[in-house]
Structure 1
Amino acid sequence: MNILLTSTARRIDFVGFFQQALKNANITGKVIVADPEDNAPSLQVGDESYIIPHQTDEQYMAAIFEICKRHKVRCLVPLNDWEVPKLSAHKRELQRLGVSVFTPDIPIVDKVRDKGKYRELLESFDVKAPRSYIHVEEAIEAIENNDVSFPLIVKPRNGSASIAIEFVNSIEEMKFAYQHAVQTIKATPLDNATYKKAEDNVIIQEVVEGEKFSVDIFNDLNGHFVTSFIRKQLEMRGGDVDRCVTVNNPELLGIAERLGKNLGHAGYINTDVYYDGSHYYVIDINPRFGGGYAFSHRAGADIPAAIIAISAGHELKKEWLTQNSHTELARHDTVVQIDKKKGKYTATAQ
């Protein structure tokens, strides 16, 4: 079984997780990695490594199809949420090639990437989300009516990697941050990840103060809930969790299960959930295999093994789907030498 991981970037650990899962399952196959940067560290460790166009390039999908056909790929797992809309839009074509695609369908992707409508989306699941406003005028009116108060946070509706996020403490700061977010969106791939104009792709949101959790939810290819993992965030670096502790909180596990069952997504999603001392609020939902999963993997989970089993039509093992609780974990950096001969260009990326 050949597996394609896309936008692998620095995630050498994820490549190793899948290589080890194939070995443990006694399944012959390769873990193929693909990234648009020719110096991506992960290209050094793939069984096959490819340099492909960025997801904003019109040749991106042609490169994905080329790799899938050349290597008879059975399983595709994206590691970057910016590419998910494009992969999801071509999901049926990939499935006709025999590829199990671990991404949600487009309607679900559109829903979870629109932070401005989380309260509307999640209310029916009995899950809370912060108040959000699409335009500055709406936020000013809410402030004047005492519906919300400063500080507020200004950010893209379909944001990623903490781009264009700013906390504001006055109306003037809010107006400036709003315009800055619009200009930032226009200059980044966020502008190509939605049909909305940049001016309509910014939200002003109430700030939830308190404990922060990463909540991952894994469903099978039919959208049936399989499991979830929860980690309390202890320290952040560059928009990613740098230190955490695993927790198996019953209330959060219940929220995760309700999200998984009601969204009915295929594959892996990662959410940020904040606790203000009384209630849990879903802040972000990212429709991809988040880097924070590495912590849960170290704490005993093995979702790559589950993904391989699902793709092969095998039964899941319970031990893959649970993590040890109260395990404190931290990231560390490693250095890898870059040999640019390791990455082959696809025909569309030369």
Structure 2
Amino acid sequence: MNILLTSGARRIDFVSFFRDALKNAGIVGDVIVADPEHNAPSLQVGDVNYVIPHQTDERYMEAIVNICKDHEVKALVPLNDWEVPKISNHKKELEDLGVHVFTPDSEVVDKVRDKGKYRELLGSFDVVAPRSYLNVEDAERALNNSEVDYPLIVKPRNGSASIGIEIVHDLDALKFAYQQAVQTIKETPLDDATSKNAEENVIIQEVIEGEKFSLDMFNDLNGKFLASFVRKQLEMRGGDVDRCITVHQKELKDIARKMGENLGHAGYMNADVYYDGKEYYVIDINPRFGGGYAFSHVAGADIPSAIIALADGREVKNEWLEDDQEIELARHDTVVRIDERKVKDSLTLRN
């Protein structure tokens, strides 16, 4: 069984997780890694490694399909927000090739990438999101009516990697941050990830202060909820969690189950949840395998084994779906030597 991880970037650990899962299952196969950057560290550790076009390139799906055909890929796992919409839009084509695609359907992707509608979407099954406004005028009206107060946060509706985010404390700063966010969207791949124009792709949101949690939900390929993992964030670095502790808090587990069951997505999703001392607020939802899963994996979970079992028609073991609670974990860096001979060009496969 061959597995394709797309946008591997720095996630060397994920390659090892899937390689170990194949070995433990007694299945012969390759972990294939693809990334648009030829010097991505993960391209040095896959069994087969490909440089592919960026997801904004019209040849992106051609490259993905080429790899799947040439290597008879059985499972595809995307690791980056921006590529998920394109892969979801081509799920049927990939499934016709025999590929099990571990990403939500495009309808679900559109819903969870639109932060401006979280309050309506999540509220329908009793999960709370911050108040959000789609333009400066609506936010100013809410401020005048004492519906919200400063500080407010300005950010893209379908944002990723903390791009274009500003916290503001007065109206002048709000207006400036809004225009800056519009410009940032136009200059980044965020503009390609939605049909909305840049001016429609900004939200203004109340700031929630308090404890921060990463919450993961894993469903099978039919959208049946299987597992959740919760980590309390202790330290951040460069937008990523650097240190955390695993928790089995009932309120957060209930939120994860509600989201997994009601969204009915296929595969893995990650959410950021803030607790202000009274309420848990879902701030962000990422429709892909989050990098923070590595913490839960070290704490005992094994979702790569579950993915392989689902793709191979095997039983998913309960032990793969649980991590140990109250385990403190921290990241560390490692260094790989870049050897260009290990990387192939995906677009030359069928030429």
Instruction: Sort the TM-score into its range (normalised by shorter chain).
Output: over 0.9
Name the residue aligned to 2:11. 11
Name the residue aligned to 1:210. 210
Any residues of structure 2 matched to 1:1-350 within 5 Å, and which? Answer: 1-347=1-347
Identity of aligned residues (%): 72
CA shift, 1:341, in A, is 1.1
Residues in 1 aligned to 2:190 and 2:320: alpha-carbon distance in whole angstroms = 34
Residues in 2 aligned to 1:251 and 1:336: alpha-carbon distance in whole angstroms = 41
CA shift, 1:346, in A, is 1.4
CA shift, 1:339, in A, is 0.4
Structure 1 residue runs of 4 or more that deviate by more than 4 Å after TM superposition = none
CA shift, 1:348, in A, is 5.7
* TM-score between the two structures when normalised by the length of structure 1: 0.99
CA shift, 1:347, in A, is 2.1
1:138-168 deviation digits (Å, cap 9, x = unpaired)? 0000000000000000000000000011100
Residues in 2 aligned to 1:289 and 1:315: alpha-carbon distance in whole angstroms = 21
**SS at structure 1 position matched to 2:82:** coil
**SS at structure 2 position matched to 1:323:** coil
Residues in 2 aligned to 1:262 and 1:347: alpha-carbon distance in whole angstroms = 39
* TM-score between the two structures when normalised by the length of structure 2: 0.99
Q: How many residues align?
A: 350
**SS at structure 2 position matched to 1:82:** helix
CA shift, 1:278, in A, is 0.7
Runs of 5+ consecutive residues of structure 2 not aligned to the other structure = none
**SS at structure 2 position matched to 1:347:** helix
CA shift, 1:300, in A, is 0.2
Residues in 2 aligned to 1:97 and 1:178: alpha-carbon distance in whole angstroms = 44
Residues 219 and 268, structure 1, Cα contact 8 Å, conserved in 2: yes
CA shift, 1:88, in A, is 0.3
**SS at structure 2 position matched to 1:177:** helix
Residues 59 and 348, structure 1, Cα contact 8 Å, conserved in 2: no
